[in-house]
Amino acid sequence: MAPRGHSADDVARTALRILDDHGLPDLTMRRLATALEVQPSALYWHFPNKQTLLAELSDRIVARMASGAATDLRTEARALRDALLTYRDGAEVVSSTLALGLGAPLATDRLTAAVVADGFDAETAGRVATTVLHYVLGFAWHEQQRLQYDSVGVRGEGAGAALRGANGAGAADAGAAGLASDDFAFGLDLIIAGLHARRRV
């Protein structure tokens, strides 16, 4: 029988809370068991190992981007970024899960559908979706790392000021939040422009 009445949903929700409060390195099965007031072995009733738990968290994080049918590629990419930034270390959780071939393909499916809706064939759409997925994951991961470094004063004001100066006015509004939204839009626009340029060739 399931341990102490806890469901898989209870375990996942508590794990997400720990992730958000303490970060991925401190999301241990022992800490999770303590929060649920069970023995660590009880968690394996629902999740056979930590990676399957992280895959469930990844699916829940990415699910935040879904709202009805897929729309255009820019909107889907922004929705994915927002979903990743909702939870501390969200990009790292999703990236590691995808690298292991685990988790639902929701993000890739929605990005692919957006490219197909723009008139591209399925093979091209799949490759573009993978490219955009990697771009969004990398960008969000970098944002979250900078947020953490700023929160503990690792980078310092001088480092942030130097970086903003080197990147010009476009990055000046980044502040402690990491990279500017304009930087994200610029990179995404480059990818989409390249896609449309291929269609004209």
- 27 exposure class (CB count in 10 Å sphere: 0-12, 13-18, 19+): buried
> Is residue 38 located within the same domain as residue 95?
no
Q: Which domain holds residue 115?
A: 68-200
* Longest pairwise C-alpha distance within the chain: 62
pLDDT, tens digit, 9 for 90 and up, residues 70-120: 689 999 999 999 999 999 999 999 999 999 999 999 999 999 999 999 999
Higher pLDDT: 179 or 143? It is: 143
Domain count of the fold of the chain = 2
- Residue 56 lies inside a defined structural domain of this protein: no
User: What kind and span of H or E run contains 154?
Assistant: none
Report the percent of the chain where pLDDT is more than 70. 82
Q: pLDDT band at residue 49, thresholds of 50, 70 and 90?
A: very high
- Residue 59 lies inside a defined structural domain of this protein: no
> Is residue 159 located within the same domain as residue 91?
yes
- Residue 58 lies inside a defined structural domain of this protein: no
Token pair belonging to 191: 């990818």
Q: pLDDT band at residue 167, thresholds of 50, 70 and 90?
A: very low
> Is residue 32 located within the same domain as residue 73?
no
C-alpha distances out from residue 188 to 57, 90, 97, Å = 26, 20, 23
> Is residue 88 located within the same domain as residue 132?
yes
> Is residue 41 located within the same domain as residue 73?
no
pLDDT at 32 over 50: yes
- Residue 135 lies inside a defined structural domain of this protein: yes
Per-position DSSP letters for 117-148, written without gaps between them: HTT--HHHHHHHHHHHHHHHHHHHHHHHHHHH
Q: What is the pTM of this model?
A: 0.82
